[in-house]
């Protein structure tokens, strides 16, 4: 009997381990629509938007490098492909792209200490080596910062602090004091850090001799003809989605002290241009060569054994051929959510900008990734764990049933 009990326990443990491992490979999940049916996914997305968002949404779907479907909706029907939305942390992807333009021009070295480029501010002394903080590590959230900084709101009538002042005393969205400094050995862990991108913003200014906003305008926005993107407070733009709550009611639009980390506004048409620049459709005007653009999705940040971050890009899922579906998400209060996903192998992509619902863009982005690749999206953790329940319980029940039968037989023999 002891042997039966021990064998049963090992079998249950082995089964649960298999279920967990296979769940993160997508074995227990199903795509929301049939494979390779772009129109079906678009219809699913439009229905989901209608069911969940009373605010504003702008959706663009790209197939094989061309825009094939668009959907735009607002509380008053006043949203189109050129309506500007707050990008939130999607701003980091554009900032990283601009930083890589400096690297491509030989004006900055990915692996040189960032202190070599700074005169206006320096990292506070710590027990760890500030010299190990490099551009590569700042871009990939592996520089040893643990601030987890989300930038707090500034009203339209407030004067934004200088970069040096914000670096020394950032206004965090939590209202708690935060310090931007090296707290763990650089290069050893991945920790999401808004402070890293605030420091990169200063670095761009020091190296380029321009304001961050002017440099991005000249280096990225103008060449890609992203005429509906910029860094002013969102309420100053015409045709603006503004800041809507979950009832679709307009709220005060805030400004932010870090353009690089969270301050950009953009439209779905502009983000589609940026996405297409990564797959060669606008190669002639793209600021970065295809090789440099591809280097931005080389895996650098890891969590729980998974590659999750590149040089300013989120690695949502493997493509199966050694590459990654990549892009960036953003979220902010009261209910801002943005997402862009790009499959470099198929040339397919999705851009969705939302004001009025706090998770819709990320949810649809995650659905799109699994539909495209068969692998769960990085942000689909709840769906992955949910998919484990039925096989875990049913398999365990079968093992226990077999164990009971074997136990009874053993007892009879005894």
- Per-residue pLDDT band at 281 (split at 50, 70, 90): low
**Average pLDDT along the chain:** 94
- Per-residue pLDDT band at 283 (split at 50, 70, 90): low
- Per-residue pLDDT band at 158 (split at 50, 70, 90): very high
Residue 51 Cα to chain centre, angstroms: 24
* Residue 63 predicted with pLDDT over 80: yes
Position 91 scores a pLDDT of 98
pLDDT, average across residues 380-403: 90
No. of helices (H) and no. of strands (E), the chain: 12, 12
* Residue 361 predicted with pLDDT over 90: yes
Of the candidates 121, 209, 215, which has an alpha carbon nearest to the alpha carbon of residue 166? 121
- Per-residue pLDDT band at 404 (split at 50, 70, 90): confident
Taking only the tens place, the pLDDT of each residue in 123-132 is 999 999 999 9
Position 284 scores a pLDDT of 58
* Residue 93 predicted with pLDDT over 90: yes
- Per-residue pLDDT band at 230 (split at 50, 70, 90): very high
pLDDT, average across residues 331-346: 95
Domain 38-375, CATH homologous superfamily name and number: DD-peptidase/beta-lactamase superfamily (3.40.710.10)
Query: How far is 292 from 104, CA to CA, in rounded Å?
Result: 7
pLDDT, average across residues 5-16: 88
Q: What kind and span of H or E run contains 371?
A: helix 360-373
Taking only the tens place, the pLDDT of each residue in 193-229 is 999 999 999 999 999 999 999 999 999 999 999 999 9
* Residue 99 predicted with pLDDT over 80: yes
Three-class SS string for 43-82? HHHHHHHHHHCCCEEEEEEEECCEEEEEEEECCCCCCCCC
């Amino acid at each position: 009997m002891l042997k039966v009990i021990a064998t049963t326990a090992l079998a249950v443990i082995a089964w649960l381990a298999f279920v967990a491992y296979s769940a993160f490979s997508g074995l227990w999940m199903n795509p929301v629509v049939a494979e390779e049916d772009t129109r079906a996914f678009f219809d699913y997305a439009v229905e989901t938007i209608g069911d969940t968002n009373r605010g504003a949404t702008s959706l663009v779907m790209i197939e094989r490098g061309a825009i094939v479907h668009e959907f735009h909706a607002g509380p008053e029907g006043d949203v189109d492909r050129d309506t500007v939305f707050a990008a939130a942390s999607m701003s980091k992807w554009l900032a990283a792209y601009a930083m890589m333009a400096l690297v491509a021009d030989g004006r900055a070295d990915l692996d040189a200490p960032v202190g070599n480029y700074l005169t206006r501010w320096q990292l506070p002394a710590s027990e760890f080596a500030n010299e190990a903080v490099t551009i590569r590590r700042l871009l990939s959230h592996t520089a040893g910062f643990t601030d987890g900084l989300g930038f707090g709101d500034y009203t339209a009538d407030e004067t934004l602090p200088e970069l040096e002042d914000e670096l020394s005393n950032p206004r965090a969205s939590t209202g708690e004091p935060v310090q931007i400094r090296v707290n763990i050995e650089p290069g050893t862990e991945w920790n999401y850090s808004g402070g890293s991108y605030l420091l990169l913003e200063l670095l761009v200014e020091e190296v380029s001799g321009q304001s961050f906003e002017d440099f991005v305008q000249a280096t990225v926005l103008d060449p890609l003809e992203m005429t509906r993107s910029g860094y002013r407070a969102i309420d100053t733009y015409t045709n603006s989605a503004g800041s809507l709550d979950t009832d679709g009611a307009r709220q005060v639009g805030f400004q932010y002290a870090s353009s690089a980390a969270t301050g950009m506004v953009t439209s779905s048409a502009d983000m589609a241009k940026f996405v297409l620049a990564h797959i060669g459709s606008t190669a002639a005007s793209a600021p970065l060569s295809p090789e440099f653009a591809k280097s931005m999705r080389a895996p650098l940040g890891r969590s729980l054994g998974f590659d999750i971050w590149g040089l300013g890009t989120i690695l949502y899922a493997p493509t199966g051929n050694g590459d990654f579906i990549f892009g960036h998400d953003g979220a902010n209060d009261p209910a801002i959510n943005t997402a862009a996903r790009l499959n470099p192998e198929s040339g397919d992509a999705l851009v969705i900008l939302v004001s009025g619902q706090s998770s819709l863009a990320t949810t649809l982005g995650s659905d799109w990734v699994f539909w495209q690749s068969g692998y769960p999206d990085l942000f689909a953790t709840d769906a992955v764990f949910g998919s484990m329940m039925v096989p875990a319980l049913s398999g365990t029940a079968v093992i226990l049933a077999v164990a009971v039968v074997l136990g009874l037989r053993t007892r009879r023999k005894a």
